[in-house]
Amino acid sequence: MKLILRINGATRQVEVDGDTPLLWVLREELGLLGTKFGCGAAFCGACTVLMGDVPVRSCSLPVSALGDGVVTTIEGIAGREAMAVQRAWIAGDVPQCGYCQSGQIMGAIALLKANKRPTDRDIDQAMSGNLCRCATYVRIREAIHAAARDLEGPR
Amino acid sequence: MIVRLLIPVAALTLVATAMAQQPDQARSIALFREAGKVLQSPRCLNCHPVGERPTQTDRMTPHVPFIVRGADGHGPAGLPCNACHHVANYAESGVPGHPKWHLGPASMAWAGKSLGEICQQIKDPARNGGLDMPALLKHMAEDSLVGWAWAPSGKRTPAPGTQAEFGATMRAWADTGAFCPPD
Amino acid sequence: MTPALPRRLLFAGTAGLLVPLGGVPSRAQSTGVANPEITDWIVIAPDGEITLGLSQPEVGQGSYTVLPQILADELDADWQRVKVRFVTGRDAYKIAFKNEPAVQKEGASMSTTVLYARLRTPGAQAREVLIRAAAGHWKVTAGQCRADKGVVVGPQGQRLSYGALAGWAARLPLAASPPLKDPAQFALIGKPLARLDTVAKCTGAAVFGIDVVVPGMLYGAIQSAPSFTGSLTAIRNEAEILKLPGVRAVVRLPAVHVANEEPGSQHPGITQGPRHNAVCVVADRFWQAKRAADALDLVFDPGAGGDLSTAKIDGLLHTAMMADKAVTAVETGRPREILQERAASIVERRFTVPHVTHAPLEPVNATASWKDGTLEVWGPIQAVAACQDAIVASLGIKAEAIRLNVTFLGGSFGRKIVPDYVVQAVHASKAVGRPVKLIRTREQDLRHGIFRVNAGGRFRAVVDQRGYPLAVQARVVGQSLFGATRKSWLDQTPEGAWDESMVDGIYNQDYRLPNFLVETVDTPLPVPVYFMRSVGSTAAVFFWESFISELAHRAGIDQYDYRRELLSDNALARRVLDAVAEAAQWKARPGVVRGISYNCYVGRGGRFRTYVAQVVELAPAGDRFAVKRVFCAVDPGLVVNPNTLTAQIQGGIGFAMTTALLSRITFANGGAEQSNFLDYPLLAIDGMPEIVPIILPSDRPPQGFGEVVLAPLAPAIAQALLQASGRRIDSLPLPVEAFRRPA
């Protein structure tokens, strides 16, 4: 089926089986390779993209269900929270192998959009769906706190 | 494997209807025990957990990822249920879905509780979300998220019977006095 | 700090071809390298951009930054002008772990410890020849000139950039052994420099194997024999599968040697005889291939190992633990006699750990392009040589006809040394005559993966009047990793061979033991196994430190004091133990629920010594205990980059948390039962403890580090639970109920 998708501020047309997971449409039809395949079943979060402000697992969303939803991938992130998160991630040298990091960053952006000053517990609850086998969780936590401070600005 | 109800529901319901408005404690409790086979199926208990975390699969293992109820049963800030659970079951990933996907409220925690305790909760508008008996019966018989339990897809065992049978059993229970099992 | 634009990260295949990350490889192939090459490792462009060769893959450990850092320091390069590319195909890039042929590979915590010495000389050679080129130009002596951040400065303050000098320098002969810097002069080594790959990994630009795009490529998905020894007998619905949308071909895949085994050391039953053990569906898109592979109706013969089960494996472990015969690995003093004389007072503990698996987050995948007898491969490859060997062995192609391109690896932990998935991609490409990217689904990755061996331990001791060990018998049994993959690595004795990885942390332990017997028993199994981060030490150190904890507990002696006493003649060991105890305020804060542990990681064959001590603190979380904080003191020799080393401490402990608390592979009907993160869970952020790293200064050269912090974690947790509840734990993963707080 032909579908019109709204991705990263642009309108893209694809012709795919509507039951295909959004993840594979992003990667193979649109060349947006920053979104990763990890488990295919929403256990690991490597494929997380934003639909509106929701950190959607793109492996578990049929592309036909997207409707007029607005999708943002790691390649298209913009806005205050996104820039604060990306800055904090780079300053904190968060990644090790880096494979999960697109998903981690999308999860952190969604968290900060929903909660301006998350506690450790808030971070645990919102980010536990983004697995990191290198376990760079200490730096993920620090980077989210740093991004939150950055967003608050100087007092 | 579908667990069949021990007593034919239709028969029970017919008898109960014939004796409408006649409180009958033993029959009412027996009817609730029948309904309990649905209420205590993994399909219902997984999303009516005691505590903050739901479970999943027929074996009721902890939900992966670690997720919590959140303020309104729709997950914590930043990771709502609909990050993964979309409007319908999705065979490609095995993730179940429904437009209203969320957890039962903490006041309606069923997992680990006795059928008697579940029954008292269900009847209590202070705990069941403010439903009186007609509203409660309608919810059980017609709500489409409740109905998901009979069409869960994948390897999940559906709740026993059908939603219509379940609704009829609940109605018969109410009609016989809505008595709760003592245990 | 504001992010710079993503660096244009460079990688190369053989023959010096550059492959820009984020680009299409074929486009890059037209751009050869014209810039002057100063050594095997250093290319300098006229504009001063310096490209440093990286012979070790980047799996997350930080080699992409740390190894160039060593080269750049001796070169006196401007770090801001440094780029990195993966290099292969020359002898300079090969390393040997011990008495074996040198090959290009990564593993065993070897990269920095081996290449620190290897890379300083070419860095210094390049600096010396650049200075010599400038001196010749100015007609002064080299001694009158000096290097300064990418520039040579002459006696009158005249300056020539490395870029300007490179063309001349490349034509001059290199000095054989130029003077190396005094460590006091290091400008980069020892500094916590930011990783060079961070920006690319925070913008989605980094190219992992799964992201490779080759023009005209198709996609492959597989379905494998459920049993490790299985063979394909029939495809019942091949015609129907070929009619599914996008499907191009159904390819029978020959069984691949599961690891780079030597002849004669194959896993029993796995590799005998030619057979097909998987089917690949090739399609226009991955999801089409995956759906079609799922729909395959295959018939397999389970083969000789079809009755493999966890119950059977556990039975073998128990029998071996109690067997009369074992191979003696170490025997000092009179352990047998003393244990016999004082049989009535023997303290005995037995332990088991299950098979586990690496589960890197990037599932194994590879892209292969077979064309007219030549082959190009792109993928997340941890060991270039092993991969090349496996392709040669399976396809009969000449090594010279293969070009390998190594991408970033989305985790490996040893998994991507084993190139079974690469060979499968090559067979698929050869069958369809087009490039194919073969991706394993998580289920195919986990269930048909490579596993870390299981182990059982039986420990017996008699103690002196004070409670310190007088004689100890330590027996470790289980599937031998070396026996299954590398028989030449086994240590031979008249009684048979023993596998040092089974007793890594025991045969080489540091405690004062006057009478000591270490034994092993191999229980061969048809389970495909290979090295996994920290190899055998995760099991052996769990056993050993738990047994030491038992002896201290029985003696009524503080766990720190007990270990300190047994390490009294080992100053470096004591230093690391004291450092962790002090940081954790072991003496000043009594009453904390915690455990302490020690291990010196020596690498295979005792190539290095990295001292590690940990204190793990538990805290109540509802009706349970949770691992709250881990103090980790290390003496790793010289630290090239404290930033990446700290990351290895943090992440290594997190990795060990998964193994300690969550990981277990079970077997039925000849294969593994787990298939995704639902039944093989990984630690998530909510379970991650606070980490307090303590890095001790050292004059020793860099020691191995990537694996060293893992093993002490589990026994320290077990000891904390022993102290809190008196409960003795004898298996990993640590049982969930052991964390219940006493009422």
Interface partners of chain A (CB pairs < 8 Å, 3 or more) are B, C
Q: Beta partners for B56?
A: B61
Cβ within 8 Å, pair B57-C684: no
Overall domain count for chain C: 3
Residues from chain C that touch B65, judged by Cβ atoms under 8 A, are 684
- pTM as predicted: 0.93
Q: Do C381 and C440 contact (CB within 8 A), yes or no?
A: no
Mean pLDDT calculated for residue range C42-51 = 93
Res. C11 pLDDT band, cuts 50 70 90: very low
Interchain CB contact of B71 with C (< 8 Å): no
Instruction: State residue C102's pLDDT score.
Output: 80
Cβ within 8 Å, pair B56-C686: no
Q: Closest-CA residue in chain C for A141? A: C685
User: Within a domain: residue C180?
Assistant: yes
Interchain CB contact of A38 with B (< 8 Å): no
C422, C451, C480: which is the final residue of a domain?
C451
pLDDT in tens, C533-552: 999 999 999 999 999 999 99
Strands C298-301 and C231-235: antiparallel
Q: Average pLDDT, whole number, for chain B?
A: 88
Cβ within 8 Å, pair B86-A65: yes
C215 preceded by cis ω (within 30°)? no
CB-closest option in B67, B77, B90 to A111: B77
Sequential DSSP letters for C259-312: S-PPTT-PPTTTSSS--EEEEEEEESSHHHHHHHHHH--EEEE--TTTT--HHH
Interface partners of chain C (CB pairs < 8 Å, 3 or more) are A, B
Of C27, C59, C191, C202, which to mutate for an interface test with A (greatest number of A Cβ within 10 Å)? C202
CB-closest option in B64, B87, B88 to A43: B64
* Residues C25 and C112 grouped into a single domain: yes
Rounded Cα distance between B121 and B114, Å, is 11
Residues from chain B that touch C684, judged by Cβ atoms under 8 A, are 65-66
Res. C8 pLDDT band, cuts 50 70 90: very low
User: Within a domain: residue B18?
Assistant: no
Of C678, C679, C680, C688, which to mutate for an interface test with B (greatest number of B Cβ within 10 Å)? C678
Q: Do C206 and C197 contact (CB within 8 A), yes or no?
A: yes
C203, C232, C260: which is the final residue of a domain?
C203
Rounded Cα distance between A75 and B2, Å, is 47
pLDDT in tens, C310-348: 999 999 999 999 999 999 999 999 999 999 999 999 999
Q: What CATH superfamily is the domain A2-76?
A: Beta-grasp domain (3.10.20.30)
Q: Do A58 and A5 contact (CB within 8 A), yes or no?
A: no
Residues in chain A: 155
Q: Is the pLDDT of residue C266 over 60?
A: no
Q: Which residue has the tokens 């970033």?
A: C408
Res. C28 pLDDT band, cuts 50 70 90: very low
Cβ within 8 Å, pair A96-C647: yes
Overall domain count for chain B: 1
Cβ within 8 Å, pair B65-C678: no
Range 101-120 of A in CB contact (< 8 A) with C? 101-102, 105
Q: Is the pLDDT of residue B112 over 50?
A: yes
* Residues C593 and C645 grouped into a single domain: yes
Q: Is the pLDDT of residue B165 over 70?
A: yes
Q: Average pLDDT, whole number, for chain C?
A: 91
Q: Could you give the percent of chain C with pLDDT greater than 90?
A: 81
Give the count of alpha carbons within 13 A of C716, CB side only. Answer: 32
Residues from chain C that touch A24, judged by Cβ atoms under 8 A, are 285-287
User: Within a domain: residue C398?
Assistant: yes
Rounded Cα distance between B158 and B89, Å, is 13
Residues from chain A that touch B77, judged by Cβ atoms under 8 A, are 111, 114-115, 118, 122, 125-126
Range 286-325 of C in CB contact (< 8 A) with B? 287, 291
Res. B3 pLDDT band, cuts 50 70 90: very low
Residues from chain B that touch C681, judged by Cβ atoms under 8 A, are 64
Residues from chain C that touch B61, judged by Cβ atoms under 8 A, are 678
Q: Do C67 and C56 contact (CB within 8 A), yes or no?
A: yes
Instruction: State residue C23's pLDDT score.
Output: 26
Alpha-carbon distance C623 to nearest alpha carbon in chain A (angstroms): 18
Of B50, B60, B64, which to mutate for an interface test with C (greatest number of C Cβ within 10 Å)? B64
User: Domain range spanning residue B54?
Assistant: 25-175
Mean pLDDT calculated for residue range B17-41 = 84
Residues from chain A that touch B90, judged by Cβ atoms under 8 A, are 60-62
Q: Do C670 and C609 contact (CB within 8 A), yes or no?
A: no
Instruction: State residue C385's pLDDT score.
Output: 85
Rounded Cα distance between C223 and C237, Å, is 14
Cβ within 8 Å, pair A36-C361: yes
Q: Closest-CA residue in chain A for C706? A: A134
Cβ within 8 Å, pair C1-A90: yes
Of C287, C361, C416, C646, which to mutate for an interface test with A (greatest number of A Cβ within 10 Å)? C361
Q: Closest-CA residue in chain C for A104? A: C202
Kindly report the CATH number assigned to the domain that includes residue C236.
3.30.365.10
Interchain CB contact of C623 with B (< 8 Å): no
Residues from chain C that touch A97, judged by Cβ atoms under 8 A, are 58-60, 360-362, 408-412
Of B63, B87, B93, B155, which to mutate for an interface test with A (greatest number of A Cβ within 10 Å)? B93
Residue spans in chain A of domains classed CATH 1.10.150.120: 80-152
CA-nearest of A84, A66, A86 to A14 is A66
Interchain CB contact of B65 with C (< 8 Å): yes
* SS3 assignment, position C569: coil
Res. C104 pLDDT band, cuts 50 70 90: confident
User: Within a domain: residue C613?
Assistant: yes
Interface predicted TM-score of the whole assembly (ipTM), two decimals = 0.98
Res. C265 pLDDT band, cuts 50 70 90: low
Q: What is the amino acid identity at position B69?
A: R
* Residues C105 and C252 grouped into a single domain: no
* Residues C32 and C53 grouped into a single domain: yes
* Residues C51 and C103 grouped into a single domain: yes
Res. C207 pLDDT band, cuts 50 70 90: very high
Q: Could you give the percent of chain A with pLDDT greater than 90?
A: 97
CB-closest option in B61, B64, B66 to C686: B66
Mean pLDDT calculated for residue range A52-75 = 96
Instruction: State residue C259's pLDDT score.
Output: 55
Alpha-carbon distance B76 to nearest alpha carbon in chain C (angstroms): 13
Q: Could you give the percent of chain A with pLDDT greater than 70?
A: 99
Instruction: State residue C21's pLDDT score.
Output: 30
Res. B129 pLDDT band, cuts 50 70 90: confident
User: Within a domain: residue B2?
Assistant: no
Rounded Cα distance between B111 and C465, Å, is 54
Rounded Cα distance between C165 and C192, Å, is 30
Which tokens belong to C177? 């052994």
Res. C411 pLDDT band, cuts 50 70 90: very high
Which of B8-17, C356-365, C509-518 shows the lowest mean pLDDT across its residues? B8-17
* Residues C741 and C691 grouped into a single domain: yes
Residue spans in chain A of domains classed CATH 3.10.20.30: 2-76
Q: Is the pLDDT of residue B138 over 90?
A: yes
Q: Is the pLDDT of residue C262 over 70?
A: no
Mean pLDDT calculated for residue range C689-696 = 98
Alpha-carbon distance B85 to nearest alpha carbon in chain A (angstroms): 8
Instruction: State residue C147's pLDDT score.
Output: 96
Instruction: State residue C115's pLDDT score.
Output: 87
Mean pLDDT calculated for residue range C348-356 = 98
Q: What CATH superfamily is the domain A80-152?
A: [2Fe-2S]-binding domain (1.10.150.120)
Instruction: State residue C267's pLDDT score.
Output: 61
C145, C177, C203: which is the final residue of a domain?
C203
Cβ within 8 Å, pair C684-B56: no
User: Domain range spanning residue C406?
Assistant: 210-306+358-451
Residues contacting residue C590 through CB under 8 Å, at least 6 positions apart: none
Q: Which residue has the tokens 């990446």?
A: C644
Q: Is the pLDDT of residue C474 over 60?
A: yes
Instruction: State residue C611's pLDDT score.
Output: 98
Give the count of alpha carbons within 13 A of C652, CB side only. Answer: 28
Res. C607 pLDDT band, cuts 50 70 90: confident
User: Within a domain: residue C320?
Assistant: no
Rounded Cα distance between A91 and C174, Å, is 39
Alpha-carbon distance C415 to nearest alpha carbon in chain B (angstroms): 24
